[in-house]
Chain A
Amino acid sequence: MIKCDNRGITVRETVASRVINEMNLRLPSLSVNESVARSVCASFCAQLDPTATEIADIKCAVSEAVTNAIVHGYRDGVGTIYINVRVYEERVVRIDIRDKGCGIDDVKRARQPLFTTDAENERSGMGFTVMESFCDSVKVASRIGKGTTVTLIKRFSERAI
């Protein structure tokens, strides 16, 4: 179970309350930046010495969220994508991907596997499902005309010292 409250982030009975490092990245919503975003986030998370799988999970989840901002959030133009990565103690990472685009009118429906509003462009409708599969928690906050914030939380496994 995942909780975010003023105690901190609770992932599987562990409470992580102290941020030990943080990064902010702003990128225009150009598709060439999908690769940039996932590489930069993966690089920043590398300080926790995650496994190769965990890094690949982060890259994939970030790629999905950033792609959504580009394809859907800013579908009619180019806007700014704001990415904030926070590394907490207890090996928890929180990544917020925010856009100020069109917003999602029905978040529950958007999160259904295979649902897409852009089938003609071969969107599979699996973005949120993939994020959920590779992260411990995915939260989506959105307002029509204001934008969307996707919050990914992942706790990396313990490493032998």
Chain B
Amino acid sequence: MIGKRECNFEVSAKEGTMTVIFDGEIDHHSAVLVRSEIDAKIYELRPKRIVLDLSHINFMDSSGLGLVMGRYALAEKLGAEFQIINPTERALKIFELAGLGRIINVKKEEKK
């Protein structure tokens, strides 16, 4: 019951890599709010690599999976690499249930 309710994100771009750092909860409500803004940034920056940083997410359900899959599809379409950073065990479990455990590039990093 602690932590931010809504979902915020920051985009940083460096050397062709666009990193989206999420903060808060990703559910259907917040996924709908953030996805078109993220896509607008992707189209604006045309990165070679898209990274979604989930280190500061305190809730995710299968709508978060949908958000990730949608951005992955866009990355594929634009020929960009795609990576997830620091999903929780629970988020990873959800990816695995969908058969994406092997497909999506996942990285664990020191939390900043």
Contact = CB atoms under 8 A, between A and B. Distances in A.
A43 interface: yes
B100 to A, nearest CB: 9
A56 to B, nearest CB: 6
A39 interface: yes
Interface residues of B, number: 24
Given A113-B97, A124-B65, A35 B28 contact: no
Contacts of A130: 61-62, 94, 97
B62 A126 contact: yes
Given A63-B27, A113-B98, A130-B94, A35 B35 contact: no
B1 interface: yes
Given A34-B28, A71-B28, A122-B66, A64 B61 contact: yes
Contacts of B63: 63, 67, 122-124
Nearest to A118: B66
Nearest to B73: A122
B66 A123 contact: yes
Given A59-B59, A122-B69, A35 B27 contact: yes
A89 B13 CA distance: 54
A101 interface: no
A117 interface: no
B70 interface: yes
Nearest to B98: A126
Nearest to B68: A124
Contacts of B66: 121-124
Contacts of A71: 28
A30 to B, nearest CB: 8
Contacts of A161: none
Contact of B65 (A31, A38, A43, A126): A126
Interface in B58-99: 59, 61-63, 65-67, 69-70, 90, 93-94, 97-99
